[in-house]
């Protein structure tokens, strides 16, 4: 797959290394060196993937991710020297799809890039592919989600979780099973990362995220997606 990848990295040497590796993989790579330029370039050229450094001048990477996630479901792979789990979860909560800490192997970065691009490649719609669970619909062929008739913007990671659960409603998925289905590699992934994705999905599909009726917690095990009928029958 040849993709248009934007690299936002203020370290010129690292940016050049990433650009060369991307081009060796057959991609078209463009580089910017500050957060403001990253936002402008995404809006201008609509890349297939953004590789985004956290520590950048003008606008830092976390704010770039926050701003762009309101406008697009562009896959975002964050690069950072911050390695704590709290920093990781903050990036995910803002809508990043993957997170790689420095120093990193360029080969691992390319593997993560291939995974994200493969999972966000949109093919032609498949007839009758839409999954319907109560008022939530998931169309894997067109990468679309609706909740109670309104469109829902999901990050690629959120979509993979929802699609996996929608394909088997009422099945209880452990966090590890969801990690395996949405990532395919260990990397940064933790149980708390799945919890963060679920929290974000509830904000998007639930009538009241504090009292979920579709995406339910099964305490001590994991999560399941239901049609909401149990809640409607409750006294």
pLDDT single digits (tens) 85-123: 666 677 677 778 888 888 888 999 998 898 888 876 654
**Do residues 182 and 215 both lie within one domain?**
yes
Instruction: Provide the whole-model pTM.
Output: 0.60
Q: Packing angle between helix 156-166 and helix 106-120, nearest 10 degrees?
A: 50
In-domain check, residue 125: no
Rounded Cα distance, 48 and 74, in Å: 7
> Among the three residues 57, 91, 120, which one is the final residue of a domain in this structure?
120
Host domain of residue 226: 131-233
Instruction: Quickly list H helices, the chain.
Output: 12-24, 35-45, 61-69, 85-93, 106-120, 156-166, 175-182, 191-205, 229-233
43 plus 115 within the same structural domain? yes
**151 and 115 belong to one structural domain:** no
Q: In this structure, is residue 75 part of a structural domain?
A: yes
CATH code of 105's domain: 3.40.50.2300
Of 102, 38, 107, nearest to 72 by C-alpha is 38
Is the distance from CB of 171 to CB of 178 less than 8 angstroms? Answer: no
Question: Domain count of the chain?
Answer: 2
In 3D space, the residue among 139, 141, 137 whose CA is nearest the CA of residue 126 turns out to be 141
Each residue's pLDDT, cut to its tens digit, for the chain (235 residues) gives 688 999 999 999 999 999 999 999 899 999 999 999 999 999 988 899 999 998 889 998 889 988 888 888 888 998 887 666 666 677 677 778 888 888 888 999 998 898 888 876 654 444 447 889 989 999 887 788 999 889 998 887 788 889 889 988 899 998 888 877 765 433 455 677 788 889 999 999 999 999 999 999 999 889 999 998 765 444 4
Same domain, 142 and 179: yes
Same domain assignment for residues 70 and 141: no
């Amino acid at each position: 797959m040849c993709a248009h990848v934007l690299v936002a990295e203020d370290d010129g040497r690292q940016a050049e290394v990433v650009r060369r590796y991307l081009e060796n993989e057959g991609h078209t790579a463009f580089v910017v060196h500050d957060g403001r330029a990253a936002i402008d370039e995404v809006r201008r050229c609509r890349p297939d993937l953004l590789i985004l450094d956290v520590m950048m001048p003008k606008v830092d990477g976390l704010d770039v991710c926050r701003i762009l996630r309101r406008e697009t479901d562009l896959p975002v792979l964050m690069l950072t020297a911050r390695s704590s789990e709290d920093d990781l979860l903050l990036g995910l909560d803002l809508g990043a799809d993957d997170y790689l800490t420095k120093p990193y192997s360029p080969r691992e970065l390319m593997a993560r890039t291939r995974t994200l691009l493969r999972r966000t490649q949109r093919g032609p719609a498949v007839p009758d592919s839409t999954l319907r669970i109560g008022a939530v619909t998931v169309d894997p062929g067109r990468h679309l989600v609706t909740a109670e008739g309104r469109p829902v913007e999901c990050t690629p990671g959120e979509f993979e979780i929802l699609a996996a659960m929608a394909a088997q409603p009422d099945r209880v998925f452990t966090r590890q099973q969801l990690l395996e289905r949405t990532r395919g590699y260990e990397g940064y992934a933790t149980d708390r990362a799945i919890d963060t994705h679920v929290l974000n999905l509830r904000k998007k599909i639930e009538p009241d995220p504090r009292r979920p009726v579709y995406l339910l917690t099964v305490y001590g095990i994991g999560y399941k997606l239901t049609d909401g009928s149990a809640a409607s029958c409750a006294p």
